[in-house]
Chains A and B, each alone.
Chain A
Amino acid sequence: MSVETTPAGILFIIVLMALVTLATRYGGAFVMSFVRISPRIESFINTMASSVLIAIIVPMAFSGDAGALAALATTAITMLVTRRALPAIAAGILAAAVVRLLIG
Chain B
Amino acid sequence: MSATPYPYQWQPARVRAEFFRLLPISLFVVAFGAAFGLAAVQEGLEPLQALLMSVTVFAGASQFAAVDMWGTEVSLVPLLAVVFAINSRHLLMGASLYPVLRELPPVKRYGVLLLLTDANWAVAAQDYQNGRKNLEVIVGGGLVLWLAWVIGTILGVYFGGLLKDPQALGLDMVLGCFLLAMALGGRKSTRTLVAWAVASVAALAAWRWLPPNIHVVVGALAGGVVGFFWLEPGQGGQSRRDQEVS
Contact = CB atoms under 8 A, between A and B. Distances in A.
A79 B168 CA distance: 23
Interface in B202-232: 202-204, 207, 215-228, 230-232
Interface string B166-210: 011111111011111111111000011001101110111001000
Given A39-B236, A52-B89, A79-B185, A47 B59 contact: no
Contacts of B204: 58-59, 62
A51 B207 contact: no
Interface residues of A, number: 77
Contacts of A22: 114
Contacts of A10: 45-46, 49
Interface in A33-71: 33, 37, 39-60, 62-64, 67-68, 71
A100 B167 contact: yes
What's the dominant secondary structure at chain B's contact region?
helix
A92 B88 contact: no
Contact of A92 (B24, B129, B177, B224): B177
Contacts of A27: 90-91, 94
B17 interface: no
A37 B99 contact: yes
A86 B120 CA distance: 15
Contact of B173 (A33, A45, A92): A92
A94 B74 CA distance: 39
A85 B185 contact: yes
A15 to B, nearest CB: 7
A28 B235 contact: no
Interface residues of B, number: 103
A83 to B, nearest CB: 7
Contacts of A75: 177, 180-181
Contacts of A58: 199-200, 203-204, 219
Interface of B: 24-25, 44-46, 49, 52-53, 56-59, 62-63, 66, 70-77, 79-80, 83-84, 87-99, 101-102, 109-110, 113-114, 116, 118, 122, 125, 128-129, 167-174, 176-186, 191-192, 195-196, 198-200, 202-204, 207, 215-228, 230-232, 235-236, 239-240
Please name the 7 residue pairs, one residue from A and one from B, whose CB atoms are nearest each other, closest first.
Answer: A51-B223, A47-B227, A55-B219, A48-B224, A96-B170, A28-B94, A28-B95
Given A43-B227, A54-B183, 8 more contacts: A40-B231, A51-B221, A57-B176, A58-B204, A72-B173, A80-B184, A92-B181, A95-B170
Interface of A: 1-5, 7, 9-11, 13-18, 20-33, 37, 39-60, 62-64, 67-68, 71-72, 75-76, 79-80, 83, 85-86, 88-89, 92-97, 100-101, 104
